Structure formats: structure tokens, C-alpha cells
């Protein structure tokens, strides 16, 4: 059966405005697009140790499928969640199947009627989708603009207010001033929530994330971490109080009505975190590459194009869909995979080339790709 005509027209509109998307094919190109920041998805050590973890905990015999509230709550869950809580200096951790389901479950369940959610306008789609399912009042404030945020707070003096941000914004890699944000939230007794998807494995002595790196973890009502980026595996977790964990188990629909992760998936999470504790050289190499990338921007006169970032994500503004797609195709033809971010994902005229830096990128690769960008621009 063919799709409805109105759906067909939407596809045709995408093709006409040059924003039609296809699944990418990777053929021996240098990776500047994936979120595998420290190469854990390729690690043979993690793969083998996850298998050993299953044997050690007798999971080949004892694993079961089903919701965690029925038959899926195998013993590796409690072991892994205890490890996550300790690693991230939190009271508790609750694992979800993905970052999307964690944000959907959290934001649809926690804010209540007469509560207010104030979120940064550049928060991830999964956060916005979860907020859209909430029965609370919801407003976005200008990106990283705390004067605008405070004006919203002042409008609701008698409400529970939840403030939502990301420690590293996924599109541009920039970060809020968290000391200022914490001060503002304490001034008005707000609940702070942060998504740390792109900070875990990148910031902190052992990759704990930006909030722990700043020693601000006790100031947050909830931290949402994702394993599908630097950890190279599947899943996510909400970090917070024991009471928050109990609440989510009872009211987060994306937790309650989802088949639990397999024992192998949870063993991989645990093994990846155990590896993260000892993998200082890989994290340090990533940081060296980030510094080198920023140095190349300055050396080649490209700094004005880029959004300021000290993370593993760097975006160069290249207005115009046709212009940007041509640049991305030229880079691909030269053997470099760099993501072109087109409207309507970003506003028209704000199209951008998004680089993800990895520990396994060589400095020569970074130098070459930046020189190609310079040659195209100038």
C-alpha cells in the first residue's frame, strides 16, 4: 500500500528545498561525525570483558526479557546502577533504554500541573518531546541567556520551577555558565536538570562529565547521562535522589512499558564504565586533539566561522543549504566525513558544518581537513 498523498507531498517538499535526508554510507572515510569520542565502540577489550561479565554473573542462564517491573530486572541492573551512582557521586541511578526514552520518561512524568518548565531554546529534541507530553506550563528561554530566564522565573513566584539545560549542547558544543545558573536557581529555589550526553567521557578526570568537573553535582535535582556517545554502547540513566528513582519507576511510562535491556547490553555499560576509570590516556589524547583543532582554527583564520567550544563538538556556520552541501561533499570526496547540518534542523541561514573530534583522529588528519575548509571558504 502506498503512503497517503499528504505524506508524499512532504517528502517532495524536502527534495525541492534540498533538505531531503538519506541514510549515510561509510566507505573508508576519516571520522569527524560520530559521537564515539574516545573510541569505546571499537574496543576489543570492552567487548571481551562484557562477555566475561556475563559469565561471571551467570547471565547466560539467568537473563530474561520483559519489563523491569515483570521479568526483565536481572541482577546486573542493580550492580550497574550502584556503580553508576558511585562513579557520578549521586544517591541513585536508574537505567533507561536510550537517552531519548530517559528524557521522554523524565519530562513527561515529573513536572506536574501548575508547575513550570523553563528550558534552553537549543535543548535536544528528546527533551522538547518529553516536555510536550508534560501537563506543566512550558516556556523556552534564549540560549544561555540568564537574564531572559530570570524574567520567566519572576512571572511564576508561587510555582515549582524546573530549569533545563545541557552541559554540552549537541549542535554546537557550547556550554552554559553553570556557576551563574546554579546561583540563579538557588536564588529562586528552582529545580535544576541537566543533560550530560555529550560531556560524559570528555570532561572530568575520569570522564565523569562537566558538572562533576565543576564540583556542582549536589546542586542539581537530576542529571541525565547517555551511554551511546563516548561510552560507545546503548542506554542512558537518570541520576538523582532515591526518591526521584522511586518516582520514575512508578510513573515514567517509557520505563514502565518498555522491554528491559538485555543482560549483554547492561554488561557492556558496566564494562565500559570500568574501562573509563582506567582509560586516562585516551581521554587525555581527546583533549589534546580538541586543543589542536582550536589552534588550527586560529592559525588558518577560521575562528570567526565557529561557535566557541571547548568540547569535542565544533560547528562552523556556513549559510545556505547548497553551499554547505557542496562543501560537505568535497570533504567526503577527499576522505573526510563531516556532518552538514541543514535547515530546518537549524534556522535558515544558520546552516553549519559540525565536526566531532575523537581521541583516534591524528593531528595530521585534523590539519588536512581544516586546510580543505579554508581553501573552500577563501
Instruction: Tell me which residue range forms the domain holding 248.
Output: 44-278
| Residue 309 domain-assigned (yes or no) | yes
Among 257, 278, 299, which residue terminates a domain?
278
In sequence order, the 6+-apart residues with CB closer than 8 A to the CB of 311 are 168, 173, 174, 175, 198, 199, 202, 203, 290
Residues 336 and 242 occupy one common structural domain: no
Residues 240 and 293 occupy one common structural domain: no
Q: How do the pLDDT tens digits run along the chain, 378 residues long?
A: 888 989 989 888 888 877 787 877 766 899 999 999 999 999 999 999 999 998 888 776 665 678 999 988 988 999 999 999 999 999 999 999 999 999 999 999 999 999 999 999 999 999 999 999 999 999 999 999 999 999 999 999 999 999 999 999 999 999 999 999 999 999 999 999 999 999 999 999 999 999 999 999 999 999 999 999 999 999 999 999 999 999 999 999 999 999 999 999 999 999 999 999 888 899 999 999 999 999 999 999 999 999 999 999 999 999 888 889 899 999 999 999 999 988 778 888 889 999 999 999 999 999 999 999 999 887
Grid cell locating 69? 517491573
Residues 179 and 320 occupy one common structural domain: no
Residues 77 and 156 occupy one common structural domain: yes
Residues 356 and 207 occupy one common structural domain: no
Question: Could you tell me the CA-to-CA distances from 161 to 61, 99, 158, 206, 371 in Å, in that order?
Answer: 46, 23, 9, 32, 47
Residues 155 and 297 occupy one common structural domain: no
* pLDDT value, residue 26: 67
* pLDDT value, residue 65: 77
Instruction: Please report, for the domain that includes residue 272, its CATH number.
Output: 3.40.640.10
Among 278, 301, 332, which residue terminates a domain?
278
- Are 339 and 353 within 8 A, CB to CB? yes
- Are 255 and 248 within 8 A, CB to CB? yes
Grid cell locating 217? 553535582
* pLDDT value, residue 61: 60
Residues 267 and 303 occupy one common structural domain: no
Question: Could you tell me the CA-to-CA distances from 128 to 75, 107, 125, 238, 281 in Å, in that order?
Answer: 33, 9, 5, 17, 36
Counted domains in the chain: 2
Taking the chain, what is the end-to-end CA distance rounded to the nearest angstrom?
50
Instruction: Please report, for the domain that includes residue 363, its CATH number.
Output: 3.90.1150.10
Residues 241 and 148 occupy one common structural domain: yes
Residues 199 and 131 occupy one common structural domain: yes
Distance separating alpha carbons of residues 90 and 243, to the nearest angstrom? 12
Distance separating alpha carbons of residues 27 and 24, to the nearest angstrom? 10
Residues 269 and 355 occupy one common structural domain: no
Question: Could you tell me the CA-to-CA distances from 24 to 110, 231, 338 in Å, in that order?
Answer: 36, 22, 11
Question: Could you tell me the CA-to-CA distances from 211 to 32, 102, 168, 170, 248 in Å, in that order?
Answer: 25, 19, 10, 16, 22
Residues 170 and 288 occupy one common structural domain: no
Amino acid at each position: 500500500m502506498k503512503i497517503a498523498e499528504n505524506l508524499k507531498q512532504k517528502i517532495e517538499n524536502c527534495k525541492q528545498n534540498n533538505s531531503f535526508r538519506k541514510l549515510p554510507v561509510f566507505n573508508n572515510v576519516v571520522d569527524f561525525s560520530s559521537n564515539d569520542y574516545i573510541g569505546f565502540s571499537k574496543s576489543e577489550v570492552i567487548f571481551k570483558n562484557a562477555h566475561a561479565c556475563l559469565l561471571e554473573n551467570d547471565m547466560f542462564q539467568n537473563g530474561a526479557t520483559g519489563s523491569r517491573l515483570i521479568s526483565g530486572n536481572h541482577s546486573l541492573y542493580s550492580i550497574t546502577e550502584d556503580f553508576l551512582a558511585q562513579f557520578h557521586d549521586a544517591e541513585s541511578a536508574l537505567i533507561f533504554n536510550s537517552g531519548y526514552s530517559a528524557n521522554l520518561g523524565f519530562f513527561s512524568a515529573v513536572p506536574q500541573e501548575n508547575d513550570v518548565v523553563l528550558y534552553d531554546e537549543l535543548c535536544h529534541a528528546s527533551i522538547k518531546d518529553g516536555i510536550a507530553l508534560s501537563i506543566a506550563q512550558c516556556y523556552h528561554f534564549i540560549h544561555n541567556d540568564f537574564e531572559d530566564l530570570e524574567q520567566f522565573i519572576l512571572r511564576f513566584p508561587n510555582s515549582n520551577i524546573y530549569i533545563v539545560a545541557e552541559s554540552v549542547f549537541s549542535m554546537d558544543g557550547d556550554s552554559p555558565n553553570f556557576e551563574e545558573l546554579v546561583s540563579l536557581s538557588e536564588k529562586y529555589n528552582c529545580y535544576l536538570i541537566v543533560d550530560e550526553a555529550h560531556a560524559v567521557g570528555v570532561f572530568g578526570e575520569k570522564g565523569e562529565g562537566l558538572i562533576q568537573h565543576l564540583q556542582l553535582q549536589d546542586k542539581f535535582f537530576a542529571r541525565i547521562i547517555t551511554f551511546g556517545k563516548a561510552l560507545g554502547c546503548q542506554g542512558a540513566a537518570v541520576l538523582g535522589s532515591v526518591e526521584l528513582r522511586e518516582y520514575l519507576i512508578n510513573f515514567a511510562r517509557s520505563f514502565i512499558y518498555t522491554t528491559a535491556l538485555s543482560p549483554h547490553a547492561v554488561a557492556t555499560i558496566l564494562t565500559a564504565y570500568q574501562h573509563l576509570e582506567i582509560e586516562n590516556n585516551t581521554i587525555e589524547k581527546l583533549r589534546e586533539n580538541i586543543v589542536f583543532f582550536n589552534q588550527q582554527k586560529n592559525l588558518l583564520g577560521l575562528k570567526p566561522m565557529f561557535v566557541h567550544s571547548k568540547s569535542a563538538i565544533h560547528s562552523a556556520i556556513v549559510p545556505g543549504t547548497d553551499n554547505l552541501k557542496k562543501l560537505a561533499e568535497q570533504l567526503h570526496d577527499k576522505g573526510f566525513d563531516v556532518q552538514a547540518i541543514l535547515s530546518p534542523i537549524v534556522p535558515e541561514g544558520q546552516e553549519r558544518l559540525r565536526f566531532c573530534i575523537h581521541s583516534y583522529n591524528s593531528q595530521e588528519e585534523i590539519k588536512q581537513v581544516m586546510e580543505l575548509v579554508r581553501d573552500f571558504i577563501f
